[in-house]
Amino acid sequence: MTDTSRNRVKSRSKSQSTTASKAASPIAPATQQAPGHLAHQDCEPCDSLPAAFARQLRYDLNRNERRPQELYQALALSVKEQLLDDWCASRSQDALYQRKQVAYLSLEFLMGRSLGNALLNLDLTDECREMLQGYAVALETLQQQEHDAGLGNGGLGRLAACFMDSCASLGLAVTGYGIRYEYGMFAQQIVDGYQQEQPDRWLRDGNPWEVRASQHNVTVPFFGHVQSHVDRDGRRHRAWVDTQDVLAVAYDMPVPGYRNGRVNTLRLWKAEATDEFDLAEFNQGDYTEAVAAKNLAEQITMVLYPNDSSENGKELRLRQQYFLSSASLQDLLTTWVANKGLDFSEFAKFHVLQLNDTHPAIAVPELMRLLIDEYQLEWQAAWEIVSHCMAYTNHTLLPEALERWPVRMFAQMLPRILEIIYEINARYLELVAHHWPGDVSRLRQMSIIEEGDEPHIRMAYLAIVASFSVNGVAALHSRLLTTGLFRDFYELWPHKFNNRTNGVTPRRWLAHCNPRLAALISSRLGQDWLSDLRCLTALNAFTSDKPFIAAWREVKQANKQALAELVAQRCQVNFDPSMMFDVQVKRIHEYKRQLLNIMHVIHLYQRIVSGDTRGMQPRCVLIGGKAAPGYAMAKLVIKLANNVAHMVNEDPRVSPWLRFAFLPDYNVSAMEVICPGTDLSEQISTAGKEASGTGNMKFMMNGALTIGTLDGANIEMLEEVGEDNFFLFGLNALAVEELKAHYCPAQYIASSAALGGVMTLLKSGHFNLLEPGIFDPIIAAIESPQDPWMLAADFETYRLAQLQAAKAYQDPLRWTAMSIRNTAVSGRFSSDVTIAGYRDHIWGAQ
């Protein structure tokens, strides 16, 4: 036996002892109490918020040199204390297994800040404000001290965060499982118009919300190889040996429901080296090797991959995926064993694993491995469990975003997992062969393994095969999945496929981020809308109520003032709140077509400079968002936006009519200022490419009007609000598909004076006088018959829709009525509605 394999045995026995001690953990419905356990009813009632805050400050060594950051830390710790009792009670209840529990597995949780949300949900905002008066500091000042938990790229990660809030608010037993990245989404700076990425050290001042819960530690194996052996009963076993084990340490963050006493957990795993690992190296005298090995282990959770809607196949990323999946599953299984013993026959009755895209799809073979290798279940029994627990959410139709991993990488890093995937595939292909007898090409097409010089594992197929539910995130997207990408699977298993249109939480995205509008709404409707956003339809009764309209406009003006201050501070551009605020913030991606927006800005600029301002509505255009560091075209679009902004803002002829800024470092906290202060929301993706969008919903909730294409959830928003209250333009998804074969941008450029003018100005180098040729790739993309985003095709209808929006804005009564109608129907896009759908149609959880 080698040193490393002994090391492996050691870690096994350790994880077993962890399991044993769990049986008596305080989570168990304790008949036997663990040492140190104090029954809840024996506790002193916890201190009130002011008492807890005073105590935090009293027992602070540095109380004589207190800055806002220290005050924030003390406040956050005091608020966390307020929810500890409910947090414990929620956990004790779950340990009874009286109802289904959901594990939401996601590589991303874009949580943003926690303080304001916690105060709101615990109904402590007013008390806190009052308390802080005694300390001569504003709540807002302290809130701004909190670093965003930016553990996600964009929509997918923010969806996970909104879902966490809704699950807790609906009282569901849902645990979020994710990774505690040391560095979250990079901070974006703009230097000479170019994006520069800065590391996001969000933990530099500590994280007062988290609790390190090392009693839940598990070890995750990597590398090694697989051996066969036969036990005393003649049963064959596969053993994964000589592995390099990494310790997964649990960090728990509380997720309080909205005023309902429920507190769920977001459990984030941090990778650390195991003691055994260090010791083995140390005994060989390689002290420095041991330390280096430690770094290797800890690298796994060091940084979030900054790619949105595109996979990049890096080995470390696969390690993150397996690390999260294995740690989370071991956690679920050890908790089950501690409370229910080794009988897994009811495991699937009490668990659902919701996979947020294919990123955690490796949980499928990992759960098989744990049940078979660690708990000695037979294949069929294990598969029954796995295939009744797993549910998969697809987030994209873009082929470049579909995850595929080289088989070679699995063979080396996860050899036992690869064996299991092969076995799953073999059994599944038998079913395919049975369904389509003799259809060999179908077998190749549907196989989990993509053959070729470099064979790959298709993670989406693995997820579909194992899941009892496969859902898309908006009606159009779910339909396109069944008719396109997953058509074969839909033929085989139609019952698996369903739609759950995304949503956003109205607590953060209306009540917390827009207190002025929230107060106005509550003054007429009361507070029920906070837990049932459909109540907002009652606002439709106020669309011609003069005092209400005036109040609505005042709120919008104040929010625009706040947004203007953000823009002034970050972009040194002066936005005038009397002008229309036209905003597009989201990840920079070709399919989202920020370029189309910039082209329209160039068109307006040309009109103004040529003196054609008759009937023009003055507007301030804001674009913000991050580009993946390796995405050259997206980065060039940022550069173009900044160069155009420079020309627009420096020209005194233009500034009465048009101002244009690129907002650096778009994140959750920025969006909390942006969406309340926006008049016009840009949702202009190429139809059929944006799965759902959720930014669109945040703007709608806050009374912005949308200019948009028939894509993603825009379609459902339009359905709710009607064409009179939405600026629709562009090709639909079918037309985009049909045009592909004979798309001719030159034709559109020749037939539109506006588009022709924009192209001429771009090509003249007007926006890059000192940087010749830098925008050539952008010009070439627009003029290419292969342009998948079809900018030229949609430009003219976009321009006309913009004219309509401008005209509507010039009639304030009409615009405000439209704005109220948008908020009024936004209730359908509350993530509470979405989660109720998951609960009733997928999870079967109450």
Ligand X SMILES: *Cc1c(COP(=O)(O)O)cnc(C)c1O
Structure tokens at 720: 């709710």
Q: In a 3-state reduction of DSSP, which class is residue 582?
A: strand
Structure tokens at 398: 């873009």
In angstroms, what is the minimal distance from the CB of 264 to ligand X?
A: 21
Interacting span for ligand X (CB under 6 A) from 74-82, 87-95, 448-456, 691-699:
691-699
User: Within 439-514, where are the H helices?
Assistant: 440-446, 459-466, 475-483, 487-492, 506
Burial class (CB in 10 A: 0-12, 13-18, 19+), 326: buried
Phi, psi of 462 (to 5 degrees): -55, -45
Question: How far is C-alpha 342 from the chain's CA centre?
Answer: 35
Residue 667 engages ligand X in binding (rule: CB under 6 A): yes
> Measured from the CB atom, is 241 or 668 closer to ligand X?
668
Q: Are 390 and 468 in contact (CB under 8 A)?
A: yes
The amino acid present at 814, given as its one-letter code, is R
Distance CA 224, CA 502 (A): 41
The binder of ligand X chosen from 264, 642, 643, 694 (CB under 6 A): 694
Show the CA angle centred on residue 213, arms to residues 212 and 215, nearest 5°: 145
Residue 668 engages ligand X in binding (rule: CB under 6 A): yes
> Measured from the CB atom, is 90 or 309 closer to ligand X?
309
In angstroms, what is the minimal distance from the CB of 107 to ligand X?
A: 15
> Measured from the CB atom, is 402 or 473 closer to ligand X?
473
How many other CB atoms sit within 10 Å of the CB of residue 110? 25
Residue 821 engages ligand X in binding (rule: CB under 6 A): no
> Measured from the CB atom, is 80 or 698 closer to ligand X?
698
What H or E segment, with its residue span, contains residue 177?
strand 174-179
Phi, psi of 187 (to 5 degrees): -85, 140
Distance CA 396, CA 567 (A): 32
**Binding-residue total with ligand X (CB under 6 A):** 12
Q: In a 3-state reduction of DSSP, which class is residue 526?
A: coil
> Measured from the CB atom, is 110 or 122 closer to ligand X?
110
Comparing C-alpha atoms, which of 88, 87, 89, 79 is closest to residue 51? Answer: 79
> Measured from the CB atom, is 74 or 671 closer to ligand X?
671
In angstroms, what is the minimal distance from the CB of 696 to ligand X?
A: 6
Interacting span for ligand X (CB under 6 A) from 115-123, 412-420, 640-648, 664-672:
664-672
Residue 693 engages ligand X in binding (rule: CB under 6 A): yes
In angstroms, what is the minimal distance from the CB of 195 to ligand X?
A: 16
Distance CA 606, CA 752 (A): 14
Q: For residue 40, what are the contacts with CB-CB under 8 A and spacing of at least 6?
A: 85, 88, 89, 92
In angstroms, what is the minimal distance from the CB of 14 to ligand X?
A: 40
Sign (positive/negative) of CA torsion 198, 199, 203, 204?
A: negative
In angstroms, what is the minimal distance from the CB of 672 to ligand X?
A: 8
In angstroms, what is the minimal distance from the CB of 158 to ligand X?
A: 4
Interacting span for ligand X (CB under 6 A) from 543-551, 596-604, 633-641, 694-702:
694-702
Residue 396 engages ligand X in binding (rule: CB under 6 A): no
Comparing C-alpha atoms, which of 464, 522, 525, 474 is closest to residue 495? Answer: 464
Comparing C-alpha atoms, which of 122, 101, 107, 118 is closest to residue 27? Answer: 101
Interacting span for ligand X (CB under 6 A) from 128-136, 352-360, 466-474, 688-696:
688-696
Distance CA 405, CA 362 (A): 11
Q: Which of residues 762-791 bind ligand X (CB under 6 A)?
A: none
In angstroms, what is the minimal distance from the CB of 394 to ligand X?
A: 16
Residue 113 engages ligand X in binding (rule: CB under 6 A): no
Distance CA 530, CA 507 (A): 7
> Measured from the CB atom, is 256 or 693 closer to ligand X?
693
Q: Which of residues 215-274 bind ligand X (CB under 6 A)?
A: none
The amino acid present at 596, given as its one-letter code, is L
Q: Are 73 and 118 in contact (CB under 8 A)?
A: no
Structure tokens at 732: 């639909």
Distance CA 292, CA 267 (A): 27
Which DSSP string corresponds to 600-625? Answer: HHHHHHHHHHTT--TTPPPEEEEEE-
> Measured from the CB atom, is 496 or 698 closer to ligand X?
698
> Measured from the CB atom, is 338 or 674 closer to ligand X?
674
Instruction: Annotate each residue in 503-532 with x if it binds ligand X (CB under 6 A) or - if it does not, as one string.
Output: ------------------------------
In angstroms, what is the minimal distance from the CB of 287 to ligand X?
A: 44
Instruction: Annotate each residue in 538-577 with x if it binds ligand X (CB under 6 A) or - if it does not, as one string.
Output: ----------------------------------------
What H or E segment, with its residue span, contains residue 221?
strand 218-222
Residue 586 engages ligand X in binding (rule: CB under 6 A): yes
Instruction: Annotate each residue in 125-164 with x if it binds ligand X (CB under 6 A) or - if it does not, as one string.
Output: -----------------------------xx--x------
What H or E segment, with its residue span, contains residue 327?
helix 315-340
Structure tokens at 239: 């053993």
Interacting span for ligand X (CB under 6 A) from 212-220, 461-469, 549-557, 690-698:
690-698
Question: What secondary structure letter does DSSP report for 377?
Answer: -
> Measured from the CB atom, is 200 or 252 closer to ligand X?
200
Structure tokens at 547: 């005092």
Residue 745 engages ligand X in binding (rule: CB under 6 A): no
In angstroms, what is the minimal distance from the CB of 504 to ligand X?
A: 7
Structure tokens at 760: 């001429």
Q: Which residues are catalytic?
A: 395, 586-587, 592, 694, 698
Structure tokens at 24: 């008596």
Q: Are 539 and 806 in contact (CB under 8 A)?
A: no
Task: Report the residue number whose CB is nearest to ligand X.
Answer: 695
In angstroms, what is the minimal distance from the CB of 698 to ligand X?
A: 6
Instruction: Annotate each residue in 473-502 with x if it binds ligand X (CB under 6 A) or - if it does not, as one string.
Output: ------------------------------
Instruction: Annotate each residue in 420-439 with x if it binds ligand X (CB under 6 A) or - if it does not, as one string.
Output: --------------------
Structure tokens at 491: 């033929």
> Measured from the CB atom, is 415 or 624 closer to ligand X?
624
Residue 671 engages ligand X in binding (rule: CB under 6 A): yes
In angstroms, what is the minimal distance from the CB of 587 to ligand X?
A: 6
Interacting span for ligand X (CB under 6 A) from 389-397, 466-474, 602-610, 663-671:
663-671
Q: Are 709 and 794 in contact (CB under 8 A)?
A: yes
Strand ranges in 293-398 using DSSP code E only, listed in sequence order: 351-356, 390-393
> Measured from the CB atom, is 270 or 587 closer to ligand X?
587
How far is CA 446 from each of CA 194, 403, 439, 461, rounded to the nearest angstrom? Answer: 43, 15, 11, 8
The torsion of the CA quartet 416, 421, 423, 424, rounded to 10 degrees, works out to 140
In angstroms, what is the minimal distance from the CB of 668 to ligand X?
A: 5
> Measured from the CB atom, is 101 or 694 closer to ligand X?
694
Binding site for ligand X (CB under 6 A): 154-155, 158, 586-587, 667-668, 671, 693-695, 698
